[in-house]
């Protein structure tokens, strides 16, 4: 399995690692098949993501996609950030091997859950829609077939 240079770079030197103290939103998701988990904490100012950090216990692709999604989302409005797709995350990394595409779902789902957590805590309607990795019908290995 070949990773791009950018995947390897984000895996070896991930950005925005850690947990924000007193976060405005928290997203915790897990991949039901491989057991990898991810937590995103974020700060919101004027409906924009002003700070974001992640902790991921998982494979190299899960760490690289978590890292890049925090870079992509920082500074975006909540409604822009919630639209980031797993394909955009993979493209930003120069591509992912097909067997690892499912790993990028963890990153986009963690972000979505954190955004909705912020909105709901502030009495607003959630905007993320269904969360793929917690869907009982989600098959994280379907791209491998
Ligand atoms: Fe579990 Fe990559 S193998 S997220």
Closest CA to 126 of 79, 76, 73, 69: 79
Q: For this structure, is 48 an active site residue? A: no
The residue ranges of every structural domain in the chain are 5-125
Distance of CA 35 to the CA centre of its chain: 15
Q: Ligand 1 pocket: which residues have CB below 6 Å?
A: 31, 34, 36, 58-59, 61-62, 103, 106
Cβ of 10: how many Cβ atoms within 10 Å?
Answer: 23
Its CATH architecture, for the domain 5-125, is Alpha-Beta Complex (3.90)
pLDDT tens across 119-142, in order? 999 999 999 988 877 665 666 555
What is the position in ligand 1's atom list of the atom closest to the CA of 35?
A: 1
Q: What is the pLDDT of residue 35?
A: 87
Q: Distance from the CA of 125 to the center of ligand 1, in angstroms?
A: 30
What is the position in ligand 1's atom list of the atom closest to the CA of 60?
A: 2
Q: For this structure, is 59 an active site residue? A: no
Mean pLDDT of the 28-45 span: 92
pLDDT tens across 59-96, in order? 999 999 999 999 999 999 999 999 999 999 999 999 99
pTM of the model: 0.91
Closest CA to 81 of 59, 51, 36, 56: 51
């Amino acid at each position: 399995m070949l990773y791009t240079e950018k995947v390897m770079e984000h895996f070896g030197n991930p950005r925005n690692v850690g947990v924000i103290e007193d976060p405005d939103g928290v997203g915790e998701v897990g991949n039901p098949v491989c057991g990898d988990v991810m937590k995103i904490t974020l700060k919101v100012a004027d409906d924009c993501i002003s700070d974001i950090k992640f902790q991921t216990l998982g494979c190299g692709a899960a760490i690289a996609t978590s890292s890049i999604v925090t870079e992509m989302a920082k500074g975006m409005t909540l409604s822009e950030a919630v639209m980031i797709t797993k394909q955009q995350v993979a493209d930003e990394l120069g591509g992912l091997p097909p067997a690892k595409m499912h790993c990028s779902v963890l990153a986009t789902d963690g972000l979505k859950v954190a955004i909705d957590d912020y909105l709901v805590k502030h009495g607003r309607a959630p905007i993320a829609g269904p969360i793929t990795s917690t869907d009982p019908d989600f098959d994280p290995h379907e791209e491998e077939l």
